[in-house]
């Protein structure tokens, strides 16, 4: 008698995202707000996963807005669910996105609002409490968190909201095929921003050509084009014109992510302090070693969701990996 085929942990994570259908039912009408307009591949993966979720479950996106072109007072039909982009910008590190999130929750008290899977981080407890006071006044607010630490704290803060635990929306993209054969050994995909943690400080890395971040994976020209799009979105909001900036940007993000996927496919192992360097590697079923960021987001996500994946490992202190 044949034994049942084991279910891949990535299949289980994708299946887990179906829980969101309890608050955004199949066939719903939605406004999708705060999708990214910048050259961060992680946010692009979340956006693509969210759009794939909408497509897979026949969810009708009536309008899309970024933080750059959403106007306060925008008319949103009462039958539309407001869906706020997920990711890691919830808190006081990225104030523009948090201001938008809180403004929408204040101004649309009668709409169902869903915050897609996020990691929450506040440097200031006082600021977290201010956010909680705004959220707790809303009658139909649903907040998804990406790890158990954020989830458990949110339960104590958002006492009058609906709080859930969920994987990142990028898991909806599983599986992603490797378009190229392996040519090199190790890619060091390391943060160069405010979230860079101590775990990567003493890491022995390869050549500069094999040590990248989103900003250096994409060429200076790629990044200039992304900044140009940001300006176009701002002009669109100020002038109120109907330029198809959104459609053009979505096409451009397809090109940028194709470049990232091709790069990852050419390496045997990915060592990364980028959460979505880890998630993209898992989506491609590629061996990867995850290094923590500055406030524990990466390790918390790993222990919550991705630790059963055989090709994934968490870098602990300076111990050598058996994937190296």
> 154-166: per-residue pLDDT in tens?
999 999 999 999 9
Model confidence pLDDT, tens digit, residues 98-127:
999 999 999 999 999 999 999 999 999 999
Q: What is the pLDDT of residue 180?
A: 84
Specify the residue for token string 């055989």: 310
Q: Cβ(166)–Cβ(145) under 8 Å?
A: yes
Q: Which pTM value belongs to this model?
A: 0.93
User: Each residue of 263-279: pLDDT tens digit?
Assistant: 999 999 999 999 999 99
Percent of residues, the chain, with pLDDT higher than 90? 81
> How far out from the chain centre does Cα 188 lie?
20
Percent of the chain with pLDDT over 70: 94
Span 73-87, mean pLDDT? Answer: 97
- In this prediction, residue 181 carries a pLDDT of 86
Look at 180 and 116; give whichever has higher pLDDT: 116
> What's the pLDDT score for residue 208?
77
The pLDDT of residue 51: 98
End-to-end CA distance of the chain: 38
The CA distance from 143 to 162, in Å, is 6
- Per-residue pLDDT tens over the stretch 208-266: 779 999 999 999 999 999 999 999 888 877 766 567 899 999 999 999 999 999 999 99
The yes-or-no verdict on residue 200 having pLDDT over 80 is: no
Q: Is the pLDDT of residue 320 over 50?
A: no
186: pLDDT strictly greater than 60: yes
The yes-or-no verdict on residue 319 having pLDDT over 90 is no
The per-residue pLDDT of the chain, averaged, comes to 92
pLDDT at 241: 59
Cα–Cα distance for residue pair 300/276, rounded to 1 Å: 14
DSSP class of 297: H
Do the beta carbons of residue 85 and residue 50 sit within 8 Å? yes
Q: Are 315 and 291 in contact (CB under 8 A)?
A: yes
Spell out where the chain has E strands. Answer: 29-33, 60-65, 80-84, 87-91, 113-121, 141-145, 162-165, 184-189, 211-212, 267-272, 287-290, 312-314
pLDDT at 152 exceeding the cut of 60: yes
Distance, in Å, from the CA atom of 235 to the CA atom of 240, rounded to the nearest integer, reads 8
The residue with greater pLDDT, 183 or 157, is 157
Please count the residues of the chain: 324
Instruction: Give the per-residue pLDDT at 322.
Output: 36
Banded model confidence at residue 20, pLDDT cuts 50, 70, 90: very high
Q: Report pLDDT for 182.
A: 87
């Amino acid at each position: 008698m044949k034994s049942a085929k084991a279910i891949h942990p990535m299949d289980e994570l994708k299946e887990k995202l179906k829980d969101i259908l309890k608050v955004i039912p199949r066939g719903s009408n939605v406004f999708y707000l705060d999708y990214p307009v910048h050259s961060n591949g992680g946010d692009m993966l979340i956006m693509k996963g969210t759009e794939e979720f909408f497509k897979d479950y026949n969810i009708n996106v009536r309008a899309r807005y970024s933080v750059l072109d959403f106007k306060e007072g925008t008319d949103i039909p009462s039958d539309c669910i407001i869906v706020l982009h997920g990711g890691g910008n919830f808190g006081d590190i990225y104030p523009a996105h948090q201001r938008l999130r809180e403004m929408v929750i204040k101004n649309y008290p009668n709409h169902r609002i869903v915050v897609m899977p996020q990691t929450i981080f506040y440097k200031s407890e006082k600021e977290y409490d201010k956010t909680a006071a705004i959220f707790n006044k809303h009658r139909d607010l649903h907040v998804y968190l990406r790890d158990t630490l954020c989830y458990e704290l949110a339960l104590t803060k958002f006492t009058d909201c609906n709080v859930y635990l969920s994987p990142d929306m990028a898991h909806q993209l599983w599986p992603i095929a490797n378009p190229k054969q392996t040519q090199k050994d190790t890619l060091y995909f390391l943060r160069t921003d405010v979230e860079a943690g101590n775990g990567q400080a003493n890491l022995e890395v390869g050549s500069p050509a094999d040590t990248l971040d989103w900003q250096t994976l994409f060429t200076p020209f790629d990044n200039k084009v992304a900044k140009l799009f940001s300006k176009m979105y701002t002009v669109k909001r100020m002038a109120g014109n109907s330029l198809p900036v959104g459609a053009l940007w979505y096409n451009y993000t397809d090109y940028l992510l194709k470049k990232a996927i091709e790069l990852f496919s050419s390496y045997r192992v990915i060592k990364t302090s980028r959460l979505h360097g880890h998630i993209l590697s898992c989506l491609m079923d590629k061996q990867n070693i995850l290094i923590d960021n500055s406030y524990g987001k990466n390790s918390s996500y790993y222990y919550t969701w991705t630790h059963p994946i055989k090709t994934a490992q968490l870098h602990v202190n300076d111990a050598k990996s058996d994937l190296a």
